Amino acid sequence: MGMGRSGIARGRNILLGMLLLSLSASAFISASGVVHGAVYREQGELASERGAVVNVMKAGQAGPVQKESRGQWGQSAAADPVPQIISRVSPSVVGIIGKAGGETGGPDDRYNLTHGSGIIVSADGWIITNAHVMTGLEKAVVVTSDGTSYNITDTYSDEFSDLALVKIKAKALRPATFAGSAAKLQVGEKVIAIGTPISFSLRNSATVGVISGLNRSVDAAYRLIQSDTAINPGNSGGPLVNMKGEVLGVNSMKFAAVGVENMGFSIPADTVKYIMNQLLQYGEVRRPSLGVELEESWPVIVGLPGQEPLTVTKVLTAEARKAGITAGDALYAIDGHRVTSLVDVNELFRQYKPGAVVKLLMQSDGDIVARSLVLAQGDPLVSAGKTEGDADDQTTE
C-alpha cells in the first residue's frame, strides 16, 4: 500500500476526505504527505468528576480508611483504570510491517514500507487486522509488544468487511478478549484505541476518548462504531477497548478534512467474530445472497429518517427469477424484519447461510405479495457509489 493515498468518491454532496489508516513509511519524505487528524488530548474530561470523594477500602472493613491524594482535576491516579487497562491489553496488540507491493527500484527502495496494527486472537498465532493493511503487502513481519518479530505464514482476507486473518508461528501469545453484543454499548462510554500510529517505532501507542455514535453506515458493508479517539495512519487493525479491557471493535477508518476532528470508525466485535469464524472455517466468507441488485431510497441515501422500501434494479440468479422477482419490485421485509438500507440486509444475513429459505414481503405491479426465496451464495450488498479495494487514494465522500 503506497503513501499519500486518500478517499472514495460517492456523489452525496458531502466533501469529506476519508483517510484509511495504514501508513507507508514513505510518508515521512512525501512532499504532499499531510497527516490529517490532530492528536486527541483529554482536556477537561475529568472536570465533571471534580470534587468527587474517592475512598480506599480495606478488605473486610465497613468504612473508609484513607482518602487518596488528588491532582488538579480532583481525581486520584489510583482511581483511573486507563493505565492498568492499557498495560493489560497491550501484549495482545501487534504491529505489522512490510514492503509496499508493486513499487521497486531506486536507492531508497528499502524505505518503501507500509504498516498497520493487529490483535492477537489465539495463543498459537492467529491475528486479526484490516484487509487494507494486508493488501499488496510483501515480506510482511509481525512484531509483538515485547519486540519479537515473526514472519506471516498464512493470510485470509475479506475486502468487503475490511478484515483479514493472518497466522504466525508462535506459542503462548496472549489473546485479546472480545466484548459481547454491541447492543449493550452506549454513546459517551469511555474507550481506548491502541495501535501503531504514523511511525512503526510508536507501536502500542494509546489514546482515550468516548463512543460518539453507534450503528453508523459509512462506506462499509456493515455498521460501524464511531468514536472520538485519536486514530491516525497506522492504527488500522488495532483495537478499540472498553473500560473492562474488552475489544469493542477493530479500528478501520476516519474522516480527515479541514475542519473535521476526531471522527474515527471501528468494526464492531460482533462483525469481527462473524468474519473471523468464517475465515477460520472456510478460508473465505460464505455469505447468503438475495440474488438481486437493490437500490436505496433517496431519504436513506442522504441520511434522512424514512421507511421507504428497497427497489430491485436487477435480477442476478436463477433462484431469484424462480421466486418471481423482477426489476422494479420493492422489498419491504425479510422474514418479518423490515429492511430500508443495504446495510440492514447485510447485518440480517449474518444469521443465515446460503441455501436457507426466506420469506420476502414485496410490492410488485402495485400489489403487496409474499415470496419464498432460496438464498444463493454471493457478495454482500454495497451501494453503487462505493468502490472496492484500497481507499488511501480517496479524497471525497
Q: Hey, which residues are catalytic here?
A: 132, 162, 236
Distance CA(238)–CA(120), nearest Å, equals 10
Residues making up the chain, counted from first to last: 397
Q: 301 to each of 113, 135, 161, 318, how far by Cα in Å?
A: 37, 29, 20, 29
**Please, are residues 197 and 163 in contact by the beta-carbon 8 Å criterion?**
no
Q: 236-270: b or e for each residue (b if 16 or more CB lie within 10 Å)?
A: bbbbbbbeebbbbbbbbbbbbbeeeebbbbbbbbb
Instruction: Give first-to-last CA distance, the chain, whole Å.
Output: 20
Distance CA(326)–CA(263), nearest Å, equals 40
Spatial CA neighbour of 218 closest among 341, 96, 50, 37: 341
Give the three-class secondary structure for 91.
helix
Amino acid at 13: N
CA contacts within 13 A on the Cβ side of 359: 6
Count the neighbouring beta carbons within 10 Å of the beta carbon of residue 151.
Answer: 10
- One-character DSSP codes across 273-320: HHHHHHHHHHSS---EE-SEEEE--HHHHHT----PPEEEEEE-SHHH
The residues near 97 (Cβ < 8 Å, ≥ 6 apart) are 113, 114, 115, 140, 141, 143, 200
